[in-house]
Amino acid sequence: MEDDSMDFSAVSLLQGFRPALTRLVLGSAALAAAAGLAPAQSGVLYGFKATGTDGNVPVAGLIFNSNGALFGTTSRHHSADRARLR
């Protein structure tokens, strides 16, 4: 007597593969869309005045406070030549 049963292991494998493939395609599309949204920009945040009272010769990186304001230090402050934190 012949065995008429079918082997469904390949079908089972494809059923598990389809959701993974869907996630891969959707994830790739989302990354491609996000990459094209806003190109990186650069520019001058602040230009120090050589004769002003706002300090000059910045010496370190900038930090953000909890409200998003930027702070930094300078090595010279007009006539007094002292550091200034703003």
Give pLDDT tens digits for 3-51: 556 665 655 655 666 677 777 777 777 777 766 666 777 887 777 776 6
* pLDDT at residue 74, as a whole number: 77
Taking the alpha carbons of 17, 21, 24, 30 in that order, is the dihedral positive or negative?
negative
Q: Is residue 46 part of a domain?
A: no
Mention every residue, 6+ apart, whose C-beta is less than 8 A from residue 65: 71
Q: Tokens 């494998």 — which residue?
A: 13
Q: Is residue 50 part of a domain?
A: no
Q: Is residue 2 part of a domain?
A: no
pTM (global) more than 0.85: no
> How many domains does the chain fold into?
2
Q: Is residue 32 part of a domain?
A: yes
**How far, in Å, CA of 19 to CA of 85, rounded?**
55
Q: Is residue 48 part of a domain?
A: no
Helix (H) or strand (E) holding 56: strand 56-58
Residue 31 CB neighbour total at 10 angstroms = 10
Q: Is residue 43 part of a domain?
A: no
Q: Is residue 31 part of a domain?
A: yes
Q: Which residues form the domain of 78?
A: 56-85
Per-residue confidence band for 68, with pLDDT thresholds at 50, 70 and 90: confident
Q: What is the 8-class DSSP label of residue 72?
A: -
